[in-house]
Amino acid sequence: MKKEIIFRMKSPYRDEFRIHGYRFGEGEKTVAIVGAMRGDEVQQQFICSQIVKNMIVLEKQGKITPGQEILVIPSANHFSMNIDKRFWAMDNTDINRMFPGYDKGETTQRIAAAIFENVRGYRFGIQLASFYLPGRFVPHVSIMETGFQNVKLARKFGLPYVLLRKPKSYDTAVLNYNWQIFETDAFSLYSGETNIIDKDSAKVTWLAVLRFLNNVGAIHFSMHEGFISHVMKDKDLVTIVSDEAGILFQLRDTGEGIKKGDLLAKILDPFTGETRSEISSPTDGTIFFSLHSPLVHQDTIMFKISKI
């Protein structure tokens, strides 16, 4: 393993800010893995730390394929993580909305430029991603439909689902999109949690990354083949939005199979405790995402149901 600094910046208050990269093997740029780019992505950073831990062992055992290089960047925003903020601490900008970056621009643009300079040119790119709402997903691989997506490769993670989604206008500035435009097969992995560590879903995710490395020939060792992934598109997900605001009293959780009409949650009046709204499933399926929040605003995504 080679530990190196891929970006550094002096700080007026604490030790200088440094982004570390961990390189394994040498030769062709095969796989780049990027973890936490937001200060609340504790689960994503934990998963990357476990990938690094496993890769150290595999390298010592000689199980990295000769001529292959794997780069892991566990964290790009630990300044914000230290003070419990999601976005960059100084100006509240999002590093994952700054790609491909600009090395003479604002701080987050410079960070994005340094990251992209190091991960550009790899055959495969893996980002440990998070959703903008607090909640839990079924572990899955997400790919943007840029015209360069590769579903066959996405199935090599062995996760339950592969989600194909059409990019929105703001997606043109995220890492996954820019990776694909610059001819890297890019995948975003959603592990279930964000600001807390869930050891079970984290292990599912880091094993999926190791399984992918194994399946594309970057490493070689025996492991479980995982799931036969169901491929979905946005239209296969039914989104349930809150019709009231109040205390969220959740009755069903992510991963549960449900029938049409099943009661999923209640929204309670925060002063009287009376039920303002009952949230029922409009379809049979599996809860793909559920909001985890003590309070819910009106017109907020509460559930995403997979009809597959």
Q: Are residues 179 and 259 in the same domain?
A: no
Q: Are residues 176 and 61 in the same domain?
A: yes
Q: Are residues 202 and 291 in the same domain?
A: no
Instruction: Name every residue whose Cβ is closer than 8 Å to that of residue 205 and which is 6 or more positions away in sequence.
Output: 47, 128, 139, 159, 189, 191, 192
pLDDT grade for 200, boundaries at 50, 70 and 90:
very high
Share of the chain above pLDDT 90, in %: 86
Q: Are residues 243 and 222 in the same domain?
A: no
What pLDDT, on a 0 to 100 scale, did the predictor assign at position 158? Answer: 97
Is residue 308 over pLDDT 80? no
Is residue 105 over pLDDT 80? yes
Is residue 140 within 8 Å of 161, Cβ to Cβ?
Answer: yes
C-alpha to C-alpha distance for 271 and 6, rounded to whole angstroms = 52
Is residue 15 over pLDDT 90? no
Q: Are residues 168 and 61 in the same domain?
A: yes
3-state secondary structure labels for all residues of 106-149: CHHHHHHHHHHHHHCCCCEEEEECCCCCCEEECCEEEEECCCCC
Q: Are residues 57 and 160 in the same domain?
A: yes
What pLDDT, on a 0 to 100 scale, did the predictor assign at position 266? Answer: 98
CB 297: neighbour CB atoms within 10 A?
11
Residue 227 main-chain phi, psi, to 5 deg: -85, 155
Q: Are residues 166 and 260 in the same domain?
A: no
What pLDDT, on a 0 to 100 scale, did the predictor assign at position 291? Answer: 95
Instruction: Name every residue whose Cβ is closer than 8 Å to that of residue 150 and which is 6 or more positions away in sequence.
Output: 143, 185
Q: Tens digits of per-residue pLDDT, 37-61?
A: 999 999 999 999 999 999 999 999 9
Ordered alpha helix ranges (H), the chain:
42-60, 78-82, 107-119, 151-154, 175-181, 199-215
Q: Tens digits of per-residue pLDDT, 202-254?
A: 999 999 999 999 999 999 988 888 999 999 998 899 999 999 999 999 999 99
Q: Are residues 180 and 69 in the same domain?
A: yes
pLDDT grade for 10, boundaries at 50, 70 and 90:
confident
Q: Are residues 187 and 295 in the same domain?
A: no
173: domain CATH number? 3.40.630.10
Domain boundary among 207, 228, 249: 228
Is residue 12 over pLDDT 90? no
Is residue 14 over pLDDT 80? no
Q: Domain residues for 249?
A: 236-306
Q: Tens digits of per-residue pLDDT, 248-284?
A: 999 999 999 999 999 999 999 999 999 999 999 999 9
Q: Are residues 284 and 267 in the same domain?
A: yes
262: domain CATH number? 2.40.50.100
pLDDT grade for 131, boundaries at 50, 70 and 90:
confident
pLDDT grade for 89, boundaries at 50, 70 and 90:
confident
What pLDDT, on a 0 to 100 scale, did the predictor assign at position 83? Answer: 86
Count structural domains, the chain. Answer: 2
Domain boundary among 189, 208, 228: 228
And the tokens for 162? 């592969």
Q: Tens digits of per-residue pLDDT, 23-35?
A: 999 999 999 999 9
Give the DSSP letter of residue 175. Answer: H
What pLDDT, on a 0 to 100 scale, did the predictor assign at position 264? Answer: 98
Q: Are residues 56 and 146 in the same domain?
A: yes
Domain boundary among 228, 257, 285: 228
Is residue 180 over pLDDT 90? yes
What pLDDT, on a 0 to 100 scale, did the predictor assign at position 90? Answer: 85
Q: Are residues 202 and 247 in the same domain?
A: no
What pLDDT, on a 0 to 100 scale, did the predictor assign at position 21? Answer: 98
